[in-house]
Amino acid sequence: MDVPRFEEYPERSLHLTAVQQFQRAADLVDLPGHYRAMLSQPMNEIIVNFPVRMDDGSWEIFRGYRIQHNNLLGPFKGGIRFHQDVDLDEVKALAQWMTFKCSLVGLPFGGAKGGVTITPDLYSDDELQRVVRRFTHSLGTNIGVDHDIPAPDVGTNSRTMDWLMDTYANVSGPGGVQAVKGVVTGKSLSTGGSAGREAATGQGVLYALRHWCGEADERLEGLTIGVQGFGNVGSHFARLAAREGCSIRIVGDHTATVVNDEGLDVEALVSWVAEHGGVDGFPSADQVSTEELFAHELDVFVPAALENQLTEDRARALRSRLVIEAANGPTTLEAERLLADRGVEIIPDILANAGGVVVSYFEWLQNKMSASWSAFEVDEKLRTILWAAHDREVETRRRHGCSRREAAYVVALERLAEVYDRRGIFP
């Protein structure tokens, strides 16, 4: 597909995939060429290299990224990933998806993403803390409460965000911690986090499934589900879905894939993973190959790990009726075409996993107001926002006769284009 080219994309570029994904939606709304071009690359690309002392006294140099894709709708917003495969191309794609996600669900945020190329499991807690603090320091004033607000992603969590906020508070001079708490979301509750943030992305994935059930006239209870990735997103989704009577049959992570066709005991699996670092060895389940995760007969398959997991071969083998993209970018373009031909539906990432950034927005608001909302209040507001976004997607899909992903992008692009039209482009 022809896309605006400003750069040589690397081979198998995730950023190029992200750009290709919105081209048909851009055609559907007749998006002017210069808007299309502006949204095809980030506004700012920040790369930092920084030294960190290891526990044994040696030093390592790390590379970190913060890609600020677009801030038309509000401050840049997006997670920070700690993973060995983090590179510029990946972070650019992830940042772009954040712009569309925030626009789609109607948040006053733009899109960004960050990351450090690191294998977190190889480092002690003290070393990781120094990496986070030094990375935060290196980013300096490139982040800020009303400028760019990070959050957790793969390999990071509320502890990481607490360290980030503390470092930022310590280097930003007098003014008090309250003024800067909102520089990052996904913090622990005691440090200024929001009730419901930790489970928010998984909760949003469950709302996506519920909404699909309503449209497809299906019962949630009894649906059979497979989940790839059992970290923050996958485990919370599995837990919540099991409580609603769904049968979680198969779960895979970086250590193994486990299956039980009577339904896995999800609470026991959560405890097992907390203790052993992965699903490998989980009793009362059979261990199977990674490929079985994709080929197992299920109603719903939920990728909640990394990008590019659902490839053409796996799409061919897939025996589920519905894919809910809890992860960002889990389906390759070729796999998506094949699934469409086979009549397998896909609820796209920018809609399915938006629960996290919605509750991040609530956290940011609470920090600004020095307020603290109850879990009930947070969940009510989350449900209202996500439900409305799903309704808009359905209405748009029917209007254009397009796919779910295209409809989600149409909604996002229409909002962005309207604001560009009204504000004009400086100078």
Alpha-carbon distance of 204 to 5, in angstroms, equals 34
CA atoms within 13 A on the CB side of 70: 27
Active site residues: 113
CB of 155 to ligand NAD, least distance (A): 5
Q: Does 233 contact ligand NAD by CB under 6 A?
A: yes
Q: Does 201 contact ligand NAD by CB under 6 A?
A: yes
- Torsion sign across C-alpha atoms 181, 109, 385, 90: negative
Give residue number: closest CB to ligand NAD: 231
Q: Does 164 contact ligand NAD by CB under 6 A?
A: no
Q: Does 346 contact ligand NAD by CB under 6 A?
A: no
Binding segment for ligand NAD (CB under 6 A), chosen from 133-141, 248-256, 281-289, 379-387, is 248-256
Q: Does 150 contact ligand NAD by CB under 6 A?
A: no
Which C-beta is closer to ligand NAD: that of 154 or that of 389? 154
Which C-beta is closer to ligand NAD: that of 86 or that of 180? 86
Q: Does 111 contact ligand NAD by CB under 6 A?
A: no
CB of 96 to ligand NAD, least distance (A): 13
Alpha-carbon distance of 409 to 401, in angstroms, equals 13
Among residues 111, 152, 182, 193, the one that binds ligand NAD under rule CB under 6 A = 152
Q: Does 230 contact ligand NAD by CB under 6 A?
A: yes
CB of 10 to ligand NAD, least distance (A): 20
Which C-beta is closer to ligand NAD: that of 360 or that of 396? 360
Judged by CB under 6 A, the chain residues 353 through 412 that form the site for ligand NAD are 353, 356
CB of 343 to ligand NAD, least distance (A): 25
CB of 217 to ligand NAD, least distance (A): 28
Q: Does 305 contact ligand NAD by CB under 6 A?
A: yes
Q: If you count them, how many residues does the chain have?
A: 427
Q: Does 160 contact ligand NAD by CB under 6 A?
A: no
CB of 286 to ligand NAD, least distance (A): 17
Which C-beta is closer to ligand NAD: that of 75 or that of 155? 155
Tell me, letter by letter, the H, E, C secondary structure of the chain. CCCCCCCCCCCCCHHHHHHHHCHHHHHHCCCCHHHHHHHCCCCEEEEEEEEEECCCCCEEEEEEEEEEEECCCCCEEEEEEEECCCCHHHHHHHHHHHHHHHHHHCCCCCEEEEEEECCHHHCCHHHHHHHHHHHHHHHHHHCECCCEEEEECCCCCHHHHHHHHHHHHHHCCCCCHHHCHHHCCCCCHHHCCCCCHHHHHHHHHHHHHHHHHHHHCCCCCCCEEEEECCCHHHHHHHHHHHHCCCEEEEEECCCCEEECCCCCCHHHHHHHHHHHCCCCCCCCCEEECHHHHHHCECCEEEECCCCCCECHHHHHHCECCEEECCCCCCECHHHHHHHHHCCCEEECHHHHCCHHHHHHHHHHHHHHHCCCCCHHHHHHHHHHHHHHHHHHHHHHHHHHCCCHHHHHHHHHHHHHHHHHHHHCCCC
Which C-beta is closer to ligand NAD: that of 307 or that of 406? 307
Binding segment for ligand NAD (CB under 6 A), chosen from 32-40, 57-65, 146-154, 410-418, is 146-154
Binding segment for ligand NAD (CB under 6 A), chosen from 136-144, 281-289, 300-308, 335-343, is 300-308
Judged by CB under 6 A, the chain residues 316 through 335 that form the site for ligand NAD are 326-328
Which C-beta is closer to ligand NAD: that of 226 or that of 356? 356
Q: Does 184 contact ligand NAD by CB under 6 A?
A: no
Q: Does 347 contact ligand NAD by CB under 6 A?
A: no
In terms of Cα–Cα distance, which of 407, 237, 222 is closest to 326? 237
Q: Does 208 contact ligand NAD by CB under 6 A?
A: no
In terms of Cα–Cα distance, which of 156, 186, 180, 154 is closest to 166? 180
CB of 353 to ligand NAD, least distance (A): 4
Which C-beta is closer to ligand NAD: that of 75 or that of 231? 231
Report CA dihedral (16, 18, 23, 29) to the nearest 10 degrees. -150
Q: Does 224 contact ligand NAD by CB under 6 A?
A: no
Alpha-carbon distance of 9 to 13, in angstroms, equals 6
Among residues 42, 155, 182, 226, the one that binds ligand NAD under rule CB under 6 A = 155
Give the binding-site size for ligand NAD (rule: CB under 6 A): 24
- Chain residues that interact with ligand NAD, rule: CB under 6 A: 152-155, 201, 228-234, 252-254, 278, 304-306, 326-328, 353, 356
